[in-house]
Every structure is written in C-alpha cells, then in structure tokens.
Amino acid sequence: MTDQPTPPAPGQTAPASSPFPANPFGPPPPPPAPYAPPTGAYGVPVGGYTAPAGGYTVPSTERPASRGAGAIALIAAVLAAVVMPILGAVFAFQIGALLPVEYIDVDTTLENDLAALSPARIQVLWAEIAFWAGTALGVLALVMGIIAVARRRGRGLGIAAIVVAVIGPVLFFVAVFVMLGIGAAVGTL
C-alpha cells in the first residue's frame, strides 16, 4: 500500500492543505458553562478572594490599656464609703457620750444650737473633717470611675467605684446617726 490520499466521500470536499481528515461527527460541543451557585448562596467575588492590602503583617505588640484609672477610682471610693463613715461613727459616738441628753433631744427653739456642741468641739471638728474628706474622695471616685469606664482603663473597677461612691453618703449618715444615738445612750449611764 502506498500513501495515497483517499478521495473524499460523496457530498464532502477535502480541505486542500489539512493533514487531518475532516471530523466525521460534526463540530465539537461548546465548553461546559462555569458552575453557578444555587440561589441564595454566598457568592465568591469575581476573581476569587484577594489578599489584604500590604500582605501579611506582624501583629502589634502593644500593651493593653492600664487599669490604673479604675484602681484609683475604686480605692478612693472605698476610702469614701468605708473608712470615712467609720471615722465619722467613732467621733459621733464620742459626741453623743459627751453631750448632755437634753442637747441631743429635738429642740424647736433653735437657741444656742452651736453652743450646745462646745463640750465636744474637738470631736465635732474631726467628724466634720471626716465628712468633707469623704465628700472629696467620693467626688474623686465618681470622676475617675467615669473616666475609667469611658476610656476602657479598668472598666469593671470603674463601674464598681461609681456604685460604691454613690452608696457612700448613705453609709456615712446612717453610721453617724446610729452611733450618735448609741453614744447618747451610753453617756446617760
């Protein structure tokens, strides 16, 4: 057998320069369509996911915010709500024990009110100092607590400081009046 080209089938023409015979099955099928996600599914962006701008960076080693503001606020609140009421109660007890009972009774005449406290003037002075020191510490605790909460520098400590500082005046007056009464009762013995 020799290499002779075979003649084309009836009704077909052979290409003049094609080394391959014509496709007897017709044109090739089109390529399949790309996968389409089901309706309602999360779609991937065209071209896939992109790398973040700048590529990978080393995480920062920044220290977390200091809890100093919250700690200062809580210490000031505890001093204002616990220590100052104890001091005020001790001095109120001494005032009650030193004053005569008739001065502790309710008097509506308002005559010589301050003169009635003269037997216990030193204790009255220290009770007043405890009151104003507690007030200053309570205001400091409130302000520092608000700053700690707002700036996230010891938020839990700041919230606790605010709560304790708000309760502080109530504790002070309850302790002072209770101990003044107890001191007056002891002073009459």
pLDDT digits (tens, 9 = 90+) for 134-156: 999 999 999 999 999 999 889 99
Q: How many helices (H) and strands (E) does the chain have?
A: 5, 0
Integer Cα distance of 96 and 156 in angstroms: 40
Q: Which phi-psi region, left, alpha or beta, contains residue 63 (left: φ > 0; alpha: ψ -120 to 50)?
A: beta
Integer Cα distance of 14 and 3 in angstroms: 16
Query: How confident is residue 98, by pLDDT bands cut at 50, 70 and 90?
Result: confident
Higher pLDDT, 188 or 162: 162
Neighbours of 22 (CB within 10 A): 11
Integer Cα distance of 92 and 83 in angstroms: 14
Task: Indicate if the alpha-carbon torsion angle 110, 114, 117, 119 is positive or negative.
Answer: negative
Task: Using the predicted structure, report yes or no on whether residue 1 has a pLDDT greater than 60.
Answer: no
- Report field, pTM of the whole predicted structure over 0.75: no
Number of residues that this document lists for the chain:
189
Task: Using the predicted structure, report yes or no on whether residue 170 has a pLDDT greater than 90.
Answer: yes
pLDDT tens digit sequence for 23-64: 677 777 788 877 766 676 666 666 666 666 676 777 777 777
